[in-house]
Structure 1
Amino acid sequence: MKYLLTTVLLLLAVSQKIKAQVADTLDLGEVVITASKTPTSERETTKPVTTITHAEIQKAPGLSVSELLNRQTGIMINGAVSSPGKDKSVYLRGAATQYTLILIDGFPVTDPSSEGGAFDLRLLSLENVERIEIVKGSMSTLYGSDAIAGVINIITKKPDEGLVNANAKMAIGSYNTNELSLGFNGTGKVASYNVNLSRTFTKGISEAEGEDFNRDGYERYVGSTEINFDLTEELTVTPFLNYSNYAGDYDAGAFADAENTYEADLINSGIRFNYKRNNFELRAAGTFTDTERKFIDDFGVFNPKANLWNNDIYGVYSFAENVRLLAGFNYQDLNFELDGIDEGSNIVSPYTTLYLGSSYGLNTEFGIRLNKHSEYGTNWSFNISPVYNITEELKVLTSLSSGFKAPTLNELFGPFGANPDLEPQTSLTFDAGLEYRSSSSGFSAGVNYFIRTVEDLISYDSSIGYVNVNEQNDSGVEVTSSYTWPETRVNVYYNYLDGAITREGEEFDNLIRRPDHSFGWGIQQNLSPDLIADLNGRFIGEREDLFFNMSTFQNETVELGSYILLNVSLNYELPEYNASLFASLNNLLDADYQEVYGFNTPGVNFKAGFRLSL
């Protein structure tokens, strides 16, 4: 009851603070990079883009990367609100985790040894994140394999002005959780730097559902450093290094306790080059991502290792204000080690896109990419995205894009059912949408519809191993709206999803753990010049899951019930001390829910702490 009373009081405070006047609060010219690989205003983008800004991240200091992403329209991170150490599955527009490409500063961090090559979000800390850009729809023309559903670009922080700046954060929370972070950055005459360190520890809750089960916690260390050398006015060179170490516990499965352990080490390093002069810009990067994981359970030790060398160079030339040509070349080398197996593959990909604008509001982007894989041969991907700006504030988006997902090294050469003759999974996606953003009224809204088909799905057959079979067909609608007053911001979204797999001529619903209907909302209110309250929630509809019954040794379909999560957070600024205090209370209604059948979720829980900048 006390949590309900807190919620009611906050809602009353919000309603009494709303003012009738409006202000110019929306920046219609906000620049994004991920959608086109070059700085582009949101008005010019040809794909649906969601931007989590630096200001939004600052107002959510108690969240993890997966929790923050889970609050965005069109995204569901399964495991984000389960046991803190539970693995995280990214469902962008309902697509399987393997179809969303994770980028750090525009370059992939794929793990070739994991299931489908998916990257483990638990290895990332939000402390060094400046902003996050999410582009929906196939992006294979620009980013290659894995970007069938879209891309999530984690953009790291940039140095502030001044030679030496420092920041720190400390937080405590439920389940013996504590977080510490420390950062230094600065800008000199010819160079700037940014260094960040963080540690997170929690005893957690039992991952599996059951009485008197052991807690499953984790400990994570994250470090990052970046140096920008301004060699000339036109040329910047940036070496960087990101490192993560994660050690945690996990259970044996649904309703099954165990003392299993999981460890992971991530090294992401490289060097970026940026040259810009007049109407020409050249960007290049060589990045190395090395992932080593170790599972220890009753069956022994499972210790896969993998790395990805990614080399990308592209140039952008603006012939005129509304004509822009991008041409690039990408080379990826992937390697995989496990139980005496040491195999690799590579992909060579030239690509180009052409952006054509017009004075009457019609803008179109054309793109094409050739992919030459060392194992399966060649395939093409393309993109056609016309956009019509009806007014400065209203635009219609459409696109037709193909995509591909190369077989992983585990599927090609791994110890369990490997098949070196696998073909790539290929997709075709159609998007159509309407977006409205008004700076004068503070109102924005959008509706987007998509149809996606994925062919030659790679499935595992216990008798023959990995094979190309089946076809996946998905469709959905996303509706979003937000309204901003001088001291209040309200946003609401709704997602509808439908999908089925075709197997031997028959269709089967297969969007496991993904609901047909979901919606969310958020209210941010300035209770005073220095105090901000955020009340947000999400409704997740009924959905199906699969449960492996140890008695019958068969998969059984089970239904997961719908649930509502309600959370509140407060952020109090202390400008005279360059500090802030924050606190959050999650699952206010103490909802009893499941993200995965047979696995546990937390009740009411809290986190509180402070941040300091010098």
Structure 2
Amino acid sequence: MKYLFTTVLLLLAVSQTMNAQVADTLDLGEVVITASKTQTSERETTKPVTTITQAEIRKAPGLSVSELLNRQTGIMINGAGSSPGKDKSVYLRGAATQYTLILIDGFPVTDPSSEGGAFDLRLLSLENVERIEIVKGSMSTLYGSDAIAGVINVITKKPEDGLLNANAKMAIGSYQTNELSLGVNGSGKVASYNINFSRSFTKGISEAEGEDFLKDGYERYVGSAELNIDLTEGLTLTPFLNYSNYTGDYDAGAFADAENTYEADLVNTGMRFRYQTDQFELKGAGALTDTERKFTDDFGVFNPKATLWNNDVYGVYSFSDQVRFLAGFNYQDLSFELDGIDEGSSIISPYATLYLGTGSGLNTELGLRLNKHSEYGSNWSFNLSPVYNLTEEFKVLTSLSSGFKAPTLNELFGPFGSNPDLEPQTSLTLDAGLEYRSSTSGLSAGVNYFIRSVEQLISYDSSVGYVNVNEQNDSGLEITGSYTWPDTRVNLYYNYLDGAITQEGEEFDNLIRRPDHSFGWAIQQNIGADLMVDLNGKFVGEREDLYFNMSTFQNETVELESYVMLNISMNYELPEFNTSVFASLNNLLDASYQEVYGFNTPGVNFKAGIRLDI
């Protein structure tokens, strides 16, 4: 705990240097698209939303997607602080990774061959990301399967004005890390384009903890291209392509070195379209996500391949400023190949939502979705989210929403314990919260409480394989606050989490690797017009993990100690040269900690580089 006291004292010292003058006005016009599939201001949203803006991304140029997400309230990326190439598990509001849906530009990129269908965050690069929206609470009514805990929408950059704009970034860091990215974009009268390429490489550290173990690094190539064509007034077609290639090393397990390799190829391509008039908007996409993974270890080669075809069309009609109706149709086709198995499934889903405003502060969103699955049949999901704006600055949020998680193809047809008779996992989530955002000062704050129940959990039984059994009940509290001066911004958050699984009538605490208590902070200070310093940190409380003991061949419960992470980054702008230089130091306290029992984490490490915009 001495590190915690040191951090608190450091925060107090920094706070004494802050400029106490309050800004006259703040920008309240941030647009959030994910929450309702149409442009919606933060004041109108009916679910808790966290938006990571482009300004915030530029202030943290040395971070990965998982590291940036790990600094947000209500979300924990297990593995974000471990070996750079270690797998990343997304715990949104403490839910298991399979219950958070990852989107790119509003459309899912699920990997049907992975454990629980979860997407691999290591395949994403921040270089072409405009912003990231995190929506908490069940979103199955709008997005279907997997969105039980919420969605994370990664929104790519859009072309700038002018026929030709270019940007480049180079960085080096600890463990022989080097990064390079290049991009060009431009806009004309009837078309615009955006092309990006990046390469990342690191020798890394040993993934498993032990003496004289081999280092486990990775190399990643990411490319993207997008073309926007304005066919007629209001109608835009957007063909796109996102590609990732990842090659990395991994160890045999806790305290076990190995020369295993992991390869992954991701192709995400298709066509989006948008047609808009004063009152009506029609949007949709046909998108293919093709993922091939290859694990090579002492047992041989494991090479699953999976494809997701996602076709989604929806229209929004605004009867007035207070009444909007959205109706859509979604078709997903999923396929899976492994060891001679070639199977698939499909989901057909019509859905609709109605947004009703009263003009007196009470707004309500109602949603309903029918899901017809090719294997298990049909199920419904719903959303009821009344919101009351007490004043221009205070908002009360409540929602009751159901969600579902369809069985994965591996669970239905895979080589180990598959069961084609599985039912979907279903959930019910209750949210309640209060948000404050001043229009005349830099103060904003919020408190949100949730209760989530997931039934028909799919579990693996060594004697019968995958079965629907058990029930998961979680609850949590999130408290956030921020204050902005002209040259300083302070952000704070606290998260409490509690959860248990019911097995054969008995309850067990099973939120492994997820702490009951955590809190974080960030202090951003502008020094002059061009230098920005960001001091941020996170306290992660004690939590339990499971360790498979190779001597006894049994799982053992172990305790992971609490720790404090403190980081600092600096960004210096050279506007006359359209250039900025940046540097970051992570784990300033050289904390010794584990995110996963028996696996390594780095000590003090750095990254520095230069960015050029033409």
Do the aligned partners of 1:14 and 1:488 also contact (CA within 8 Å) in 2? no
Q: Deviations over 1:295-337 (max 9, x none)?
A: 0000000000000000000000001110000000000000000
CA distance in 1: counterparts of 2:439 and 2:208, whole angstroms: 48
Shift of 1:284: 1.2
CA distance in 1: counterparts of 2:493 and 2:25, whole angstroms: 20
Match of 2:558 in 1: 558
Q: Deviations over 1:122-144 (max 9, x none)?
A: 00000000000000000000000
Q: Deviations over 1:144-185 (max 9, x none)?
A: 000000000000000000000000000000000000000000
Do the aligned partners of 1:512 and 1:543 also contact (CA within 8 Å) in 2? yes
Shift of 1:29: 2.8
Match of 1:261 in 2: 261
CA distance in 2: counterparts of 1:379 and 1:405, whole angstroms: 11
Corresponding position: 1:307 with 2:307: yes
Do the aligned partners of 1:25 and 1:484 also contact (CA within 8 Å) in 2? no
Shift of 1:30: 1.6
Shift of 1:233: 1.5
Give percent identity, aligned residues only: 85
- Aligned ranges 1:371-386 → 2 under 5 Å: 371-386=371-386
SS at match of 1:61: coil
CA distance in 1: counterparts of 2:580 and 2:441, whole angstroms: 31
CA distance in 2: counterparts of 1:67 and 1:505, whole angstroms: 38
CA distance in 2: counterparts of 1:7 and 1:518, whole angstroms: 14
Shift of 1:19: 2.1
SS at match of 2:239: strand
- Aligned ranges 1:445-484 → 2 under 5 Å: 445-484=445-484
- Closer, same or farther: CA 533–364 of 1 in aligned 2, 3 Å: same
Q: Deviations over 1:253-308 (max 9, x none)?
A: 00000000000000000000100012000001000000000000000000000000
Shift of 1:338: 0.2
Match of 1:89 in 2: 89
Where does structure 2 lack aligned partners over 5 or more consecutive residues? Answer: none
Shift of 1:20: 2.4
Shift of 1:507: 0.1
- Aligned ranges 1:368-517 → 2 under 5 Å: 368-517=368-517
Match of 2:519 in 1: 519
Letter in 2 for 1:362: L
- Aligned ranges 1:276-425 → 2 under 5 Å: 276-425=276-425
- Aligned ranges 1:106-117 → 2 under 5 Å: 106-117=106-117
Match of 1:143 in 2: 143
Shift of 1:27: 2.2
Q: Deviations over 1:553-601 (max 9, x none)?
A: 0000000000000000000000000000000000000000000000000
Match of 2:227 in 1: 227
SS at match of 1:231: strand
Equivalent residues, number: 611
- Closer, same or farther: CA 18–548 of 1 in aligned 2, 3 Å: same
CA distance in 2: counterparts of 1:472 and 1:11, whole angstroms: 38
- Aligned ranges 1:142-221 → 2 under 5 Å: 142-221=142-221
Shift of 1:196: 0.2
SS at match of 1:331: strand
Q: Deviations over 1:407-431 (max 9, x none)?
A: 0000000000000000000000000
CA distance in 1: counterparts of 2:8 and 2:430, whole angstroms: 43
Match of 1:532 in 2: 532
Letter in 2 for 1:158: K
Letter in 2 for 1:593: Y
Match of 2:546 in 1: 546
CA distance in 2: counterparts of 1:508 and 1:586, whole angstroms: 36
Q: Deviations over 1:517-562 (max 9, x none)?
A: 0000000001221000000000000000000000110000000000
Do the aligned partners of 1:17 and 1:487 also contact (CA within 8 Å) in 2? no
CA distance in 1: counterparts of 2:307 and 2:8, whole angstroms: 51
Do the aligned partners of 1:14 and 1:525 also contact (CA within 8 Å) in 2? no
- Closer, same or farther: CA 8–582 of 1 in aligned 2, 3 Å: farther
SS at match of 2:232: coil
Corresponding position: 1:570 with 2:573: no
Q: Deviations over 1:30-67 (max 9, x none)?
A: 21100000000000000000000010001010000000
SS at match of 1:337: strand
Match of 2:596 in 1: 596
CA distance in 2: counterparts of 1:25 and 1:504, whole angstroms: 57
CA distance in 1: counterparts of 2:473 and 2:419, whole angstroms: 25
SS at match of 1:37: coil
CA distance in 2: counterparts of 1:411 and 1:494, whole angstroms: 36
Letter in 2 for 1:210: G
Match of 2:61 in 1: 61
- Closer, same or farther: CA 573–10 of 1 in aligned 2, 3 Å: farther
Shift of 1:381: 0.1
- Closer, same or farther: CA 25–490 of 1 in aligned 2, 3 Å: farther
Match of 1:31 in 2: 31
SS at match of 1:320: coil
Shift of 1:17: 4.5
CA RMSD of aligned residues (A): 1.4
CA distance in 1: counterparts of 2:96 and 2:8, whole angstroms: 38
CA distance in 2: counterparts of 1:431 and 1:139, whole angstroms: 12
Shift of 1:26: 3.0
The two structures have a TM-score, normalised by structure 1, of: 0.98
Q: Which runs of 4+ in 1 moved over 3 A?
A: 6-17
- Closer, same or farther: CA 381–11 of 1 in aligned 2, 3 Å: closer
The two structures have a TM-score, normalised by structure 2, of: 0.98
Shift of 1:14: 4.3
Shift of 1:348: 0.1
CA distance in 2: counterparts of 1:321 and 1:521, whole angstroms: 37
Where does structure 1 lack aligned partners over 5 or more consecutive residues? Answer: none
Do the aligned partners of 1:273 and 1:285 also contact (CA within 8 Å) in 2? yes
CA distance in 2: counterparts of 1:516 and 1:79, whole angstroms: 18
CA distance in 2: counterparts of 1:203 and 1:237, whole angstroms: 41
Do the aligned partners of 1:181 and 1:199 also contact (CA within 8 Å) in 2? yes
Match of 1:244 in 2: 244
SS at match of 1:222: strand
Q: Deviations over 1:166-218 (max 9, x none)?
A: 00000000000000000000001100000000000000000000000000000
Do the aligned partners of 1:436 and 1:444 also contact (CA within 8 Å) in 2? yes
